[in-house]
Structure 1
Amino acid sequence: MLHRRDSGTLANVKVRTLERTQIVRRPVTETFKFFCEPRNLQRLTPAFLNFRFLEPPPEVMHPGTAIHYQIRLYGVPVHWRTRIEIVEPPNKFVDVQEKGPYALWRHSHIFKDIGGGATEMKDRVEYALPLGPLGEVAYYLFVARSLAQIFEFRERKLEEILGT
């Protein structure tokens, strides 16, 4: 389930929120652990982004952990570095973009035990595009669609890997 809404402005850029909820038929501790292993980021990223780590990913995530990688957006290489801001096992972690294509990217991963060995996993991404009006044009031409494709791929991949 994908929800998008505008949530304000950040220094004259529109801040948007993308939310996605998925049920994973695994216990919350196992689901949280899967998402806290940075190497799984590559498994959950569609091939069209040509994801690759620029530095060996860390073994364990904790506040302050940096993850540096490259993707290709429409053939253009984009370096992206995120830093883990919050880790609250097994319920939540948050990563923020330090360097990358967005003016703002803050991704909260929230996990809730819903009983029966299942987990409700919620992504909440607050993001803003750079370049003012050009960023707005890009949003409507391809960014919104690309983000939907990425999260749809991830949902399908999770079904394949963890059985959702």
Structure 2
Amino acid sequence: MKIYTLHKKQNLPITLDEAWEFLSNPKNLKIITPDYMGFNILSGADKPMFSGQMIQYIVTPILGIPTKWVTEITHVQDKKYFVDEQRYGPYSLWHHKHFLKEIPGGIEMEDIIDYKIPMGILGQLVHPILVKPKLDEIFEYRRKKLIELFGEFQH
């Protein structure tokens, strides 16, 4: 069983309160997801984030095939981190940790995603040519969108 890890960091020139307010609101995920992915929340995003929250949405990640995805917010520590885990969807495992911390001039946002592709060896063969490039593309879009929304971090 091969488990992959995607690790991304980004600094933003905003306060911890601003970052938490934006990033912990599930409704804002649509803003930082490429339009072509057809991201649409079906239910569960009507309250501020809490442990045990279930969020259902439709996303079209690959080949234009709409996919239902259900995630549970399993851990929340206010203004520090939250964790979402897939309960139903395209991955055999999806465990996404979102960390925030104050740094001089803004915040550091860190994402660590541990994930497993279904279909055994076939999934492992598809990972480097389809899945990994798609995840990198989605996170690059998000990086650029957050800069567009909040500005470029100055060292």
TM-score normalized by the length of structure 1: 0.89
Unaligned 5+ segments in structure 2 are none
Measure, in 2, the Cα distance between the counterparts of 1:147 and 1:109. Answer: 16
Structure with greater strand percent: 1
Letter aligned with residue 131 of structure 2: V
Matched, 1:27 2:27: no
* Aligned residue in 1 for 2:119: 131
One-letter amino acid matched to 1:77: P
1:123-162 alignment to 2 at 5 Å?
A: 123-162=111-150
Structure 1 stretches (4+) deviating beyond 3 angstroms? none
- 2:88 equivalent to 1:99: yes
What percent of counterpart residues are identical? 36
Matched, 1:48 2:45: no
Please give the alpha-carbon distance, in whole angstroms, between the structure 1 residues aligned to 2:34 and 2:55: 18
* 8 Å CA contact 2:117, 2:127 repeated in 1: yes
Post-superposition shift, 1:47? 1.3
CA contact (8 A) 1:21 1:121 kept: yes
For residues 19 and 100 of structure 1, the distance between their equivalents in structure 2, rounded to whole angstroms, comes to: 21
Paired positions, count: 151
What is the SS of the residue equivalent to 1:14? coil
Counterpart check, 1:81 vs 2:70: yes
* Distance in 2 separating the partners of 1:140 and 1:120: 28
Q: What residue is the counterpart of 1:4 in the other structure?
A: none
Gaps of 5+ in 1: 1-12
TM-score (norm 2): 0.93
Following superposition, the deviation at residue 55 of structure 1 comes to 2.2
Q: Distance in 2 between matches of 1:74 and 1:26?
A: 36
Counterpart CA distance in 1 for 2:114 and 2:141 is 20
The offset of 1:56, in angstroms, is 5.7
Are the aligned partners of 2:44 and 2:54 in contact in 1 as well (CA < 8 Å)?
no
> What does residue 9 of structure 1 align with?
none
| RMSD across aligned positions (CA) | 1.1
